[in-house]
C-alpha cells in the first residue's frame, strides 16, 4: 500500500448525497480479475451519456476542476461492498475523499487502499463545496499526522478523526495482512480453545 | 450488566485486542464468489502466503452467471474468465466450490443457509454486502471488501473495531398482505439509509419471533440498506428446526449440544443498546419505493412526499415521478422476482398463490429467478412451475440476475421494474433502468395487472 502523510491539491466538488458504489463503478464493469484500470469507468454513467458522448455538466468533466481530492455529499459510498469503488477512485488519481458521512464498508475499503476518507462537519462540507464552486483553483491541505484539513488562503480548517491503528498503517504503508500473518500463533491458540 | 446477542457472539470470537486499536476477530465461515475473490487470490499468491483454513471456505458462482442455458458455455468472454478463475483458484487451494450447474449452486446467501453452513453463534463473512442475511440465524455476518477477503484467506481473522448496538423492535399484528419485505422496507423508510452506519442491528419483537427463517433472512438481508453492517435475530425453535438435518449442520448428539449452547445466545433482559427504535406492526402496509435509494419508500396507498433537497429532486427526476403523486395505476412493463432478498421457496409460494388461475398482463415481461438449484427443484416439485407457465411468467435458472444486471438480465433504458430485490439505485438493473422495490406479492400483482395496484384493497 502507498504511504500517505500530507497532500496539497485542488479538489473536485460532487454536490450529491448518498453516492452509492453502483454509481462509483457500475456492476457491469466488475468482470475484471485484477485491481487496475477501473478509473476509466469511475462514475461511468454520470460522466458519459448512454451513446458514449461526454456529459459536460458532470464535475469530473468540467475543465474548471482538477485535483486529487474529491469532495462529496453526505453518506458517500453506501451500498455494495465492492472494493472496485475504492480501486476506481485511486486508479483515476484521487488520494482523498471528503464527505460529512461515509458508509462503513466503503470507508474500510478506502483505508485498505491508501485512499484517505476524511469525515468533516456538515457546515465545513457546505462551505468547502461553495468555495470550490466560486473559486475552483482553491488548494486544500491535508495533514494526516496532525489530522487536519485546511483551505489555503482562508481560515477554513477542521480536525478529523481516524483510528490510531489505521493512521499508522496509512503513514507507513502497512496493511492488515502483515499484522495478521505475524499473529498466526495466537490465532492457532485461539482455535484450540474456542468455547463455542 | 447483561449482554446482547451481538455481544455474546462477538466477544466469544475475539482473539486479542490491539491497545488503542481494533480487535482481531476470528471468522468461522468464509463464503466466496467469482466477483470479489480473484484479486484476493492473486494478492496471496504474489506475496507467497498460503490459504490458512481452506476447509472453512465455501464457494459458489452467482453474480455473473447466465439464467438461461447454464449447461452451455458462457458467451461473454470476461464472465467466462471470471468463473474459470474461481474454479481454478478453488481447485488449487482445496476449497469446496458449487459451480454453475451443481445441485447445490445458487446465490451465496440462499445456498449457504440451505446447506446448513449458516448456524447460530458463528461469525461469517463474504465479499458481498448482503452477507447480513445470515444474521437471521443469530450469527454475526457481514460484507467485506476484497482486501479483507485476502486477510481472511491469510489468517481466518479480521482486524475490526466493535460496532455499536442498535435494536429495532416491532410488536403487534401484521395486516393481511404485509410480508417480511414490507416490514424491512417500512423500517428503512422510517430510519433512512444511514441510520445504522457504525451499528449492528438486532430485530426483536413478536413480529420477528413469528416469522419463518425465510422471512427473517429477507429482513436481515436489507440491514445494510439502512447502513448497518449486519442484522441479527435471536435463535429459537424456528431456527433450530430449520438447521436440523441439513448437510453441514451438526448431527445427533452434537446437534443437541449445539442447541443447548445456542439457547444461551439471546439478549439478556438487562442488556442495553446504544440506540433503540420500536414500531407498531399494525401501522405497516404493503410498501413500495419511489426513489433511488431504499429509504425512499412509502405505503403503496400513500403519495410521494415533497422535499426541496436537490438530491431528492434529482432522484425523482431520474425516476420520472412528481412529488405528491400516487404510484397506483402506474403502468409497469417489467417484473422481477428474485435476488438474495426474495428468491427462496416461500417467496415463490406467495407469488404462485396469488397468480394461480390468473394471467400476466400482455405488456409485462415477468422474470422469476430462483435463488438456488434447490429452490428451482422445489418450484418444479411443488407444481408451482405449472402455475407460472400457465400465467405466462418466465422461470429462469438460479443466480443474482437482474438484481444487479451483471449478466444479460437487464431492464431496458427508461423502463420501470417492480422488483423484489434490495437496491433501487440509478441504473442498478441496467443502464437507465428505474427500479421500484416491493414484496413478491406486490410484484406478482403488478405483473398480473400490468400496473401498480393497491394490493391491500384487493385483498380485504
Are B431 and B425 contacting, i.e. CB atoms less than 8 angstroms apart? Answer: no
- Interval A66-94: pLDDT, tens: 999 999 999 999 999 999 999 999 999 99
Cα(B320)–Cα(B433) distance, integer angstroms? 11
Cα(B181)–Cα(B183) distance, integer angstroms? 5
Residue B340 labeled ligand binder:
yes
Alpha-carbon dihedral of residues B95, B109, B111, B99, nearest 10 degrees?
Answer: -50
Of B79, B423, B431, the CB nearest to A79: B423
| Cβ-proximal residues to B98 (8 Å cutoff; 6+ apart), any chain | B58, B59, B60, B61, B104, B105, B106, B111
Angle at B289 between CA B286 and CA B295, to 5 degrees: 105
Are B137 and B114 contacting, i.e. CB atoms less than 8 angstroms apart? Answer: no
Grid coordinates in use for B89? Answer: 483458484
Give me the mean pLDDT over the B20-37 stretch.
Answer: 96
Pick among A55, A74, A79 to test the B interface (most B CBs inside 10 A):
A79
What is chain B's mean pLDDT, rounded? 97
Whether A1 shows a pLDDT value over 90: the answer reads no
Whether B19 shows a pLDDT value over 90: the answer reads no
Cα(B371)–Cα(B60) distance, integer angstroms? 12
Q: Which of A161-170, B180-189, B370-379 has the lowest mean pLDDT?
A: A161-170
**H or E segment to which residue A155 belongs:** none
Smallest CA-to-CA distance from B145 within B135, B159, B134, B133 is with B159
Using only the alpha carbons of chain B, give its radius of gyration. Answer: 21
Residue B44 is predicted with a pLDDT of: 97
Residue B20 is predicted with a pLDDT of: 81
Cα(B209)–Cα(B120) distance, integer angstroms? 15
Residue A188 is predicted with a pLDDT of: 97
Alpha-carbon dihedral of residues A85, A89, A91, A94, nearest 10 degrees?
Answer: -160
Chain B segment 327-386 residues within 8 A of A by beta carbon are: none
Looking up cell 474548471 gives A64
Give chain A positions within 8 Å (CB) of B51: none
Residue A194 is predicted with a pLDDT of: 87
Task: Say how many Å lie between the first and final Cα of chain B, rounded.
Answer: 47
Are B8 and B264 contacting, i.e. CB atoms less than 8 angstroms apart? Answer: yes
Give chain B positions within 8 Å (CB) of A28: 405-406
Whether A2 shows a pLDDT value over 90: the answer reads no
Give chain B positions within 8 Å (CB) of A112: 145, 147-148
- Interval A31-55: pLDDT, tens: 999 999 999 999 999 999 989 999 9
Give me the mean pLDDT over the B304-322 stretch.
Answer: 97
Residue B72 is predicted with a pLDDT of: 94
Cα(A44)–Cα(A31) distance, integer angstroms? 15
β-strand pairing of B96-98 with B23-26 = unpaired
- Interval A95-114: pLDDT, tens: 999 999 999 999 999 999 99
Residue B165 is predicted with a pLDDT of: 97
Residue A141 is predicted with a pLDDT of: 98
Q: How far is CA B159 from CA A123, A180, A182, B144, B450, in A?
A: 32, 8, 13, 12, 50
Question: In terms of C-beta density within 10 A (0-12 exposed, 13-18 middle, 19 or more buried), how is residue B14 classed?
Answer: middle
Residue B24 is predicted with a pLDDT of: 97
Of B18, B311, B405, the CB nearest to A17: B311
- Interval B400-450: pLDDT, tens: 999 999 999 999 999 999 999 999 999 999 999 999 999 999 999 999 999
Q: Is B194 helix (H, G, I), strand (E, B) or coil?
A: coil
Alpha carbon of A133: minimum distance to chain B alpha carbons (Å)? 16
Q: Which of A11-15, A65-69, B17-21, B434-438 has the lowest mean pLDDT?
A: B17-21
Q: A17 vs B309: CB contact, 8 Å cut-off? A: yes
Give me the mean pLDDT over the B86-94 stretch.
Answer: 98
- What percentage of chain B reaches a pLDDT higher than 90? 98
Q: What burial letters (b/e) apply to A89-117, b meaning 16+ CB within 10 Å? A: bbbbebbbbbbbbbbbbbbbbbbbbbbbb
Inform me whether the C-beta atom of residue B214 falls under 8 Å from chain A C-beta atoms.
no
Are B297 and B288 contacting, i.e. CB atoms less than 8 angstroms apart? Answer: yes
Q: How far is CA A179 from CA A4, A70, A77, A174, A182, in A?
A: 18, 30, 26, 8, 5
Residue A135 is predicted with a pLDDT of: 97
Alpha carbon of B392: minimum distance to chain A alpha carbons (Å)? 29
Grid coordinates in use for B204? Answer: 426483536
Q: How many CB pairs under 8 A join A and B?
A: 186
Whether B309 shows a pLDDT value over 80: the answer reads yes
pLDDT band at residue A62, thresholds of 50, 70 and 90?
very high
Amino acid at each position: 500500500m502507498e504511504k500517505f502523510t500530507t497532500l496539497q491539491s485542488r479538489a473536485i466538488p460532487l454536490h450529491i448525497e448518498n453516492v452509492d458504489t453502483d454509481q462509483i463503478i457500475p456492476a457491469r464493469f466488475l468482470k475484471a480479475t485484477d485491481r487496475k484500470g477501473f478509473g476509466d469507468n469511475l462514475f461511468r454513467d454520470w460522466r458519459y451519456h448512454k451513446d458514449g458522448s461526454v456529459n459536460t455538466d458532470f464535475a469530473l468533466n468540467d475543465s474548471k476542476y482538477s485535483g486529487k481530492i474529491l469532495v462529496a455529499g453526505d453518506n458517500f459510498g453506501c451500498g455494495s461492498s465492492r472494493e472496485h469503488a475504492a480501486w476506481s477512485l485511486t486508479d483515476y488519481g484521487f488520494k482523498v475523499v471528503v464527505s460529512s458521512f461515509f458508509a462503513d464498508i466503503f470507508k474500510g475499503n478506502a483505508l485498505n487502499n491508501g485512499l484517505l476518507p476524511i469525515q468533516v462537519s456538515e457546515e465545513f462540507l457546505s462551505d468547502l463545496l461553495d468555495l470550490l464552486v466560486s473559486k475552483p483553483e482553491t488548494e486544500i491541505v491535508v495533514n494526516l499526522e496532525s489530522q487536519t484539513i485546511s483551505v489555503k488562503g482562508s481560515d477554513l480548517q477542521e480536525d478529523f478523526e481516524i483510528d490510531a491503528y489505521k493512521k499508522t498503517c496509512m503513514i507507513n504503508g502497512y496493511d492488515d495482512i502483515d499484522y495478521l500473518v505475524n499473529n498466526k500463533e495466537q490465532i492457532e491458540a485461539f482455535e484450540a480453545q474456542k468455547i463455542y | 450488566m447483561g449482554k446482547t446477542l451481538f455481544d455474546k457472539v462477538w466477544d466469544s470470537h475475539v482473539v486479542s485486542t490491539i491497545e488503542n486499536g481494533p480487535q482481531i476477530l476470528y471468522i468461522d465461515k468464509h463464503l466466496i464468489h467469482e466477483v470479489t475473490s480473484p484479486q484476493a487470490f492473486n494478492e496471496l499468491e504474489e506475496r507467497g502466503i498460503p490459504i490458512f483454513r481452506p476447509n472453512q471456505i465455501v464457494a459458489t458462482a452467482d453474480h455473473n452467471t447466465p439464467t438461461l442455458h447454464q449447461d452451455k458455455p458462457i458467451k461473454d468472454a470476461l464472465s467466462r474468465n471470471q468463473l474459470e478463475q474461481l474454479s481454478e483458484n478453488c481447485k488449487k487451494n482445496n476449497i469446496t466450490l458449487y459451480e454453475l450447474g451443481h445441485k447445490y449452486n445458487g446465490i451465496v446467501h440462499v445456498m449457504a443457509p440451505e446447506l446448513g453452513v449458516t448456524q447460530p453463534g458463528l461469525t461469517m463473512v463474504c465479499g458481498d454486502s448482503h452477507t447480513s442475511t445470515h444474521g437471521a440465524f443469530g450469527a454475526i455476518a457481514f460484507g467485506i471488501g476484497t482486501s479483507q477477503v485476502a486477510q481472511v484467506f491469510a489468517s481466518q481473522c479480521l482486524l475490526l473495531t466493535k460496532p455499536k448496538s442498535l435494536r429495532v423492535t416491532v410488536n403487534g399484528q401484521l395486516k393481511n398482505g404485509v410480508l417480511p419485505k414490507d416490514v424491512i422496507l417500512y423500517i428503512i423508510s422510517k430510519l433512512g439509509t444511514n441510520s445504522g452506519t457504525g451499528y449492528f442491528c438486532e430485530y426483536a419483537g413478536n413480529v420477528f419471533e413469528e416469522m419463518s427463517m425465510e422471512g427473517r433472512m429477507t429482513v436481515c438481508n436489507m440491514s445494510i440498506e439502512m447502513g448497518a453492517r449486519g442484522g441479527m435475530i435471536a435463535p429459537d425453535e424456528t431456527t433450530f428446526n430449520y438447521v436440523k438435518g441439513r448437510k453441514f449442520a451438526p448431527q445427533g448428539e452434537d446437534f443437541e449440544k449445539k442447541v443447548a449452547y445456542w439457547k444461551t445466545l439471546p439478549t439478556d433482559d438487562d442488556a442495553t443498546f446504544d440506540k433503540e427504535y420500536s414500531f407498531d406492526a399494525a401501522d405497516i402496509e404493503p410498501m413500495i419505493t419511489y426513489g433511488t435509494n431504499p429509504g425512499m419508500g412509502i405505503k403503496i396507498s400513500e403519495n410521494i412526499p415533497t422535499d426541496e433537497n436537490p438530491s431528492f429532486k434529482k432522484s425523482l427526476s431520474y425516476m420520472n415521478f412528481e412529488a405528491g403523486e400516487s404510484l397506483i395505476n402506474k403502468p409497469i412493463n417489467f417484473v422481477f422476482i428474485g435476488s438474495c432478498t426474495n428468491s427462496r421457496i416461500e417467496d415463490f409460494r406467495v407469488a404462485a398463490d396469488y397468480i394461480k388461475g390468473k394471467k400476466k398482463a400482455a405488456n409485462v415481461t415477468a422474470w422469476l429467478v430462483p435463488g438456488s438449484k434447490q429452490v428451482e427443484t422445489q418450484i418444479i416439485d411443488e407444481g408451482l412451475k405449472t402455475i407460472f407457465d400457465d400465467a405466462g411468467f418466465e422461470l429462469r435458472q438460479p443466480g443474482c440476475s437482474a438484481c444487479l444486471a451483471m449478466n444479460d438480465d437487464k431492464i431496458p433504458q427508461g423502463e420501470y421494474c417492480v422488483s423484489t430485490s434490495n437496491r433501487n439505485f440509478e441504473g442498478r438493473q441496467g443502464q437507465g433502468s428505474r427500479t421500484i422495490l416491493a414484496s413478491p406479492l406486490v410484484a406478482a400483482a403488478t405483473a398480473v395487472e400490468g400496473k401498480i395496484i393497491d394490493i391491500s384493497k384487493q385483498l380485504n
